[in-house]
Amino acid sequence: MTMKQAGSGRWLSGQLKSLRHGRLRMEPLQIPVPGERTSQTIRRFRDEGGPVVPIELPGKVHAWMVASYESVSEVLLNDGTLFSKNSRNCPAMHDGTIPPDWPLRQLVEGDHLLTKDGDDHRRLRGLINRAFTPARVAAMAPRIQEMTDGLLDGLAAEGEVVDLVRHFSEPLPIAVICELFGVPEEERYQLREWTNVLLFHTASPEQAAAAAQAMLGYLAAFIERRRAEPGDDLTSGLIQAQEDDGDRLSDNEMLWILWLVLVAGHETTVHLIANAVIALCAHPAQVPAAGDQDSWAKVVEEALRSRNSVLNVMFRYPLEDVQVAGTKIPAGEPIVVALDGADTDPARYGTDAARFDASREPDAHVGFGRGPHFCLGAPLARLEMRIALSALFGRYPGLRLAVGVDEIAYTPSLITEGPMTLPVVLGPRNPGS
């Protein structure tokens, strides 16, 4: 943190304490902060300002951020009762306060599962959940292992220094989710490019609108192709379910189901794998033996807690005036739920909460959310991470970063965070792998 940040932090701390005691309404804190990773900003706001802070997002969009374990849990556990995910409950979305061309609108207004409440949410979640049952996910393990081994086979040919994002942590989750839903290999990276535009806060309104339109157009055409030529994939299965019981799933809902599973199904795991690699390179003594799957499962859980790729989820809207961790939030004002702040909260995890420690005693975390919107893809993400990390370090036990930790550039996103590139030195291959 710079001296300027430190000085402003002391001022903000006093102002925010006054805010919580009802003595004033301070100006919102701007996020992102130039030169500071979003995860660092969240933790600073929490530590200096407390569990609930007013913020200003790009586009001069005002919101609240809940950033402690207590405040995040309070919101998530009251989804559907005190809080809604449907933007019709947010006046600012409809009265011109939030610009019509705000780049993040599709993420918070799209007709997908993340904006549904109540019966609609339960109905759509039940349909999607068929793809991610524990039995179906477990059956995918051999194929994920095969994909992982294939990518690892190609790493050595890339030279002494390898970009692990480009050649491993990015292509693996994309291949897994796209194969599951039948997206042809030659079309997969276009989905990745659209996703980046939609999630990066550096995208202009024009760029975001173009990416959103192009992606929805592609998915509509893809569904029609699958309708004409069904295959052994989950898109074809959804189409069949729709034709068998059309009242349960509209064409528009099918479109947005695919939008959600293809975006969320790869974006989060791309960064989770890379973030975990960085943590393990910084703490090589915590790298388990390749076959010690119980220890790798602990590594995965600690990465989900302390190095999660999902920083914030947007938005929740109070259905009435509420008190969250002692702060009044008026009905309809958008709330950003800072999962990263919750999972690195010293009040919950101790003074070393931000430290990666796979030997830490297991404790509940909110890396996949909590309550009715708990992440459907959690079993698949855990499986991919365990296979990818154990195979990577099993093949290259001496793997290390080729650059300093401070030299790694991270994605410019308010929602997810991971390295843009990750140069590593593989080291000697394990002769037994």
Segment holding 70, helix H or strand E: helix 69-76
The Cα–Cα gap between 23 and 14 comes to 11
Q: What is the C-alpha to C-alpha distance for residues 405 and 307, in angstroms, rounded to an integer?
A: 14
Take residue 258 and report the two structure tokens written for it: 């695919």
pLDDT tens digits, one per residue of 338-373? 999 999 999 999 999 999 999 998 788 999 999 998
- Which tokens go with 135? 């039995």
pLDDT at 8 > cutoff 50: no
pLDDT digit string, tens, across residues 246-300: 657 788 888 998 999 999 889 999 999 999 999 999 999 999 998 899 999 999 9
72 close to 341: Cβ distance less than 8 angstroms: yes
- Burial class (CB within 10 angstroms; exposed 0-12, middle 13-18, buried 19+) of 43: buried
Strand partners, 54: 64
Give the Å distances, CA to CA, from 416 to 42, 211, 215, 249. 12, 18, 19, 29
Question: Under a CB-based contact definition with an 8 Å cutoff, are residues 130 and 384 in contact?
Answer: no
pLDDT tens-digit profile of 168-223? Answer: 999 999 999 999 999 999 999 999 999 999 999 899 999 999 999 999 999 999 99
CA–CA dist 422, 403 (Å, integer):
8
Lowest mean pLDDT among 76-85, 228-237, 241-250, 406-415: 241-250
Contact 263, 211 (CB under 8 A): no
- Quick one: three-class SS letters along 366-414? CCCCCHHHCCCCHHHHHHHHHHHHHHHHHHCCCCEECCCHHHCCECCEC
- Assess contact for 163 and 423: CB atoms under 8 A: yes
Residue 193, strand partner residues: none
**d(C-alpha 348, C-alpha 363), whole Å:** 9
CB 282 within 8 A of CB 356: yes
123 or 422, higher pLDDT = 422
Characterize the bridge pairing of strands 312-318 and 161-163: unpaired
Q: Structure tokens of 402?
A: 């080729």
131-170 pLDDT, tens digit each: 788 888 899 999 999 999 999 999 988 988 999 999 999 9
Confidence at residue 290, expressed as pLDDT on a 0 to 100 scale: 86
Q: H or E element: which one contains 138?
A: helix 134-139
| CA gap 401, 422 in Å, rounded | 8
Residues 6+ apart with CB under 8 A from 159: none
- pLDDT band per the 50, 70, 90 thresholds, residue 51: very high
Residue 336 backbone phi and psi in degrees, to 5:
-95, 125
Q: How far apart are CA 407 and CA 422, in angstroms?
A: 10
